[in-house]
Structure 1
């Protein structure tokens, strides 16, 4: 509506200035149209510069994410370095257990990312808090119709909560890690596989010693967790060697 009053005020002021000749009528017309014109301009400037008539609204969403490696035994979070502070790094993840093209966070001035590790559970999550400017009421919504200011983003904060078995590494480290793993000899691969099997067996044996009545399903869960822990240790050691 303020855009309409701005146009009307400008046209009325022009007509009053050019085509009104009686002094009293001219002054009144210029005064009224000038107030409408200047008032509209003030309201527009207040909205664009100070978000007059608006308030901040934050929406929080949370979703489960999966390893960017498409592997349950080698869960990892990848990131691409952007800048020097690390706040604007682009993080790569999957929204499905396997997918060809991974998802990634936005690389813009509004987005920042945090990564936390938890010892509770085996599920990785991404919580996104998005803050935007919205109209305080329908009055301001109608007043600033067509302004394009509604839902203007203020900030977006992504918080990744990862199980302790996950590994976070840069895309550069990931490329170096793939190269190093590809150079492993058959004997080294066999030795790593044997060590992993022993680690899982020991974990299941220890768990059954504490709970002899453990079901097959529970044993499988213990084995899967132990396998993830083993490969996490292997990955972290490998990453430390290429830093």
Structure 2
């Protein structure tokens, strides 16, 4: 609407200035149309540079997210450093276990916060602020130009306590380490057996009734040792970016 008004003011100014003879009416019209042109240009400039007629509106969206790790038994939140200073990062996850992974918006105006939750599922709460017109009048006046322009976003990622947080590079290193653990040498097998035996003794000491069920005891001991090995592998890769 403002552009149509500007066009009419320009045409009116031209016609009154060129086509009319000198008179009080001509002078008055030149002043009116001149003010219209200057006023229109000023409003357009203010809208472009200072978001005149607009307000910041924040919307909140909460959704359940899933690990992007190919191994669902070892869930993790992946992150990818953005920039050369490593001050910012995008976080990689899935909105559906069967769909491709997505990531948080790569923008300096985006702030990501990570917290641990006692829940078994992870969630992402996004508070997104955009410029919107105050009302329909301003929207129509400026033809809704710039409506929905992104201002900032705050992402709160709440992940279960058993999730790991690794960079994509660390995740690749972890995968390589775990592959090695899946094919232990004879010496490593012997060391593993010793650890399992020691863990079984700890479990029996804590729960004496397990001594009567050796199958359950050994399964629990093996699982505990396996978790320890994974945790150690994770700690090793986390020491290097």
TM-score interval (norm. to shorter): 0.7 to 0.9
Q: Call closer, same or farther: CA 1:137–1:19 in 2, change over 3 Å.
A: same
Q: Establish whether residue 128 from structure 1 lines up as the match of residue 126 from structure 2.
A: yes
Q: Is the 8 A contact 2:131 2:147 kept in 1?
A: yes
Q: What does the per-residue CA deviation read over 1:79-126, in whole Å, with 9 as the maximum and x for residues that have no partner?
A: 111125655312111112344x211122124323222223x1111111
Query: Which segment drifts farther, 59-68 or 7-16?
Result: 7-16
Residue equivalent to 1:217: none
1:131-210, aligned counterparts within 5 Å?
A: 131-146=129-144, 148-184=145-181, 186-187=183-184
1:52-67, aligned counterparts within 5 Å?
A: 52-67=52-67
Aligned-pair distance for 1:72?
A: 3.0
Q: CA RMSD in A?
A: 3.6
Residue equivalent to 1:214: none
What are the ranges of 5 or more consecutive residues in structure 2 without an aligned counterpart? 210-223
Q: Is the 8 A contact 2:178 2:230 kept in 1?
A: no
Q: Is the 8 A contact 1:67 1:93 kept in 2?
A: yes
Aligned-pair distance for 1:194?
A: 10
Q: Is the 8 A contact 2:174 2:234 kept in 1?
A: no
Equivalent-residue separation in structure 2 for 1:162 and 1:228 (angstroms): 22
Equivalent-residue separation in structure 1 for 2:50 and 2:226 (angstroms): 51
* TM-score after normalising by structure 2: 0.77
Residue equivalent to 1:106: 105
SS in 2 for 1:32: helix
- Equivalent residue pairs, number: 225
Aligned-pair distance for 1:158?
A: 1.5
SS in 1 for 2:181: coil
Aligned-pair distance for 1:187?
A: 2.8
* TM-score after normalising by structure 1: 0.77
Q: Call closer, same or farther: CA 1:181–1:104 in 2, change over 3 Å.
A: same
Q: Call closer, same or farther: CA 1:242–1:145 in 2, change over 3 Å.
A: closer
Equivalent-residue separation in structure 1 for 2:162 and 2:239 (angstroms): 18
Larger Rg: 2
Q: Is the 8 A contact 2:132 2:149 kept in 1?
A: yes
What are the ranges of 5 or more consecutive residues in structure 1 without an aligned counterpart? 210-225
Q: Is the 8 A contact 2:170 2:238 kept in 1?
A: no
Equivalent-residue separation in structure 2 for 1:38 and 1:193 (angstroms): 86
